[in-house]
Amino acid sequence: MSKQVEIQINQDTPSAKTGQKYQTPQLSQNDERNPKYKSDIDKANFLSILNFIYVIPLTFRVWRKSQRNQELKEQDLITFPYSKRAEPLEREYMKRLERQNAKGKKINTAWAVFGALKWPILRTTFIQIIFCFLRIFQGYLIKRLIECYLDPELATTDAYWWAAILAGVLALAFYADHHWNDGTTKFGAYGKAGIVNMLYSKITRLSTHSITKLSAGQLINLAANDVNTIEMLCFFGPSVISGWACIIAGAALLWIYFGVICLLGVGYMIATVPIQMAIAHTSSKSRAERNIVTDERVRKTSELIQDIRLLKMYTWEIQFREVIAQLRKKGYCYQ
């Protein structure tokens, strides 16, 4: 844009006529882009969040739409907090990536995602640990309940107390299980949305020369496959932390039941961990090689589609078909 055009645009703006500086428009309280916007989750109270009552209006909206044969629109869905939207998460990712680059560390997107979502991850991990301990405690309560029924003197006194405690523990485990699954699903989707938005923002800032060198198929493959890996890390990440606490608690319960012989089973589970890590490391190499082959196949396919006229004129489609078929066979070898 030339200076004459910039001057003309600035003169046409109201701020130029009044001599005031241009100010960005103020967002209303009902605009989801406003940081002070209160979503449906922000408006929900503790009991509503605990029992997922804020989802009930969405259920009725879906039912009414289905009865009227109408499509469900974006405005009908539940709104989420501003801090969990794609744009704020993208800015948080970029801050952490720039921090890693400034410290001279190797840039790791997964650590940036975990750092931005550390509190939801820790909260979900804590809920998962509580759920595992409740399930283990259920086994102890069932054992005490069976002992009460085996002893006629305790059948009419302590059995009712242990049954009441068992019912309460089952109710708490029910809540913990649902909130654990809700948390892992949410921040997995949050992490994926932020990364996809970051890719989109980066692409829109590229020059025309750089965009022509960039394959659309590679971007689709990156957003569809590679980003899913980070989503799965967010989904199963809490299990890596809470799993050890559950093994220790389960081993303690087995010690109460069976004594020292339980160490055989617990030792077997712990001994398989290095084997599983070795298998995962080996499969990750083949997966990385398969991604390279997939990117190459997508690039060749994009070239074929973009230059189809030239290929038809020189009858090169058979050669390109053979190249793509060979790359596809290589991809199958890594599966």
- Tell me, yes or no, whether 93 and 6 share the same domain: no
- Tell me, yes or no, whether 19 and 160 share the same domain: no
Q: Is the pLDDT of residue 23 over 60?
A: no
**Structure tokens of 278?**
């070795």
Write the DSSP symbol of residue 260: G
Total Cβ atoms within 10 A of residue 117: 23
Q: What is the pTM of this model?
A: 0.69
Q: Domain for residue 198, yes or no?
A: yes
157, 205, 321 from 226: Cα distances, Å: 59, 22, 26
Q: Domain for residue 175, yes or no?
A: yes
Q: Domain for residue 132, yes or no?
A: yes
- Tell me, yes or no, whether 43 and 177 share the same domain: no
Query: Which position has the token pair 């100010």?
Result: 23
Number of separate domains in the chain: 2
**Structure tokens of 90?**
């993208």
Higher-confidence position of 115 and 25: 115
Higher-confidence position of 1 and 122: 122
| Conformation bin of residue 34: beta by default, left when phi > 0, alpha when psi is -120 to 50 | beta
Identity of the amino acid at 151: D
> What does pLDDT average to over the chain?
77
Total Cβ atoms within 10 A of residue 20: 10
Q: Domain for residue 200, yes or no?
A: yes
Confidence of residue 247 (pLDDT cuts 50, 70, 90): confident
In the 3-class helix/strand/coil scheme, how is 179-203 assigned residue by residue?
Answer: HHHHHHHHHHHHHHHHHHHHHHHHH
Write the DSSP symbol of residue 154: T
Nearest residue to 190 via CA among 242, 238, 230: 230
| Domain stop point among 217, 245, 267 | 267
Higher-confidence position of 70 and 29: 70
| Domain stop point among 82, 114, 147 | 82
- Tell me, yes or no, whether 23 and 113 share the same domain: no
Under 8 Å between Cβ of 190 and 84: yes
- Tell me, yes or no, whether 14 and 146 share the same domain: no
**Structure tokens of 275?**
């084997």
- Reduced to 3 states (helix: H, G, I; strand: E, B; else coil), residue 306 is helix
- Tell me, yes or no, whether 112 and 190 share the same domain: yes
- Tell me, yes or no, whether 77 and 91 share the same domain: no
Burial state string for 53-82 with b = 16 or more CB within 10 A and e = fewer than 16: ebeeeeeebeeeeeeeeeeeeeeeeebbeb
| Domain stop point among 267, 289, 321 | 267
Q: Is the pLDDT of residue 303 over 80?
A: no
Handedness of CA 322, 325, 326, 327 (dihedral sign): positive
Q: Domain for residue 172, yes or no?
A: yes
Q: Domain for residue 315, yes or no?
A: no
pLDDT digits (tens, 9 = 90+) for 219-238: 666 666 667 777 777 778 78
Determine whether 144 is exposed, middle or buried from the number of CB atoms within 10 Å of its CB (0-12, 13-18, 19+): middle
- Tell me, yes or no, whether 125 and 72 share the same domain: no
- Tell me, yes or no, whether 190 and 209 share the same domain: yes
- Tell me, yes or no, whether 231 and 195 share the same domain: yes
Q: Domain for residue 66, yes or no?
A: yes
Under 8 Å between Cβ of 109 and 195: yes
In the 3-class helix/strand/coil scheme, how is 98-131 assigned residue by residue?
Answer: HHHHHCCCCCCHHHHHHHHCHHHHHHHHHHHHHH
Q: Which domain range does residue 254 map to?
A: 85-267
Determine whether 112 is exposed, middle or buried from the number of CB atoms within 10 Å of its CB (0-12, 13-18, 19+): buried
Residue 71, Cα to own-chain centre: how many angstroms?
27
Q: What is the per-residue pLDDT for 13?
A: 40
Q: What is the per-residue pLDDT for 12?
A: 41
pLDDT digits (tens, 9 = 90+) for 173-200: 999 999 988 888 887 888 888 888 888 8
Q: Domain for residue 294, yes or no?
A: no
- In this structure, of 99-113, 208-222, 246-260, 270-284, the range with the lowest mean pLDDT score is 208-222
- Tell me, yes or no, whether 114 and 204 share the same domain: yes
What is the Cα–Cα distance from 182 to 231, expressed in whole angstroms?
14
What is the Cα–Cα distance from 23 to 26, expressed in whole angstroms?
9
- Tell me, yes or no, whether 51 and 177 share the same domain: no
Q: Is the pLDDT of residue 316 over 90?
A: no
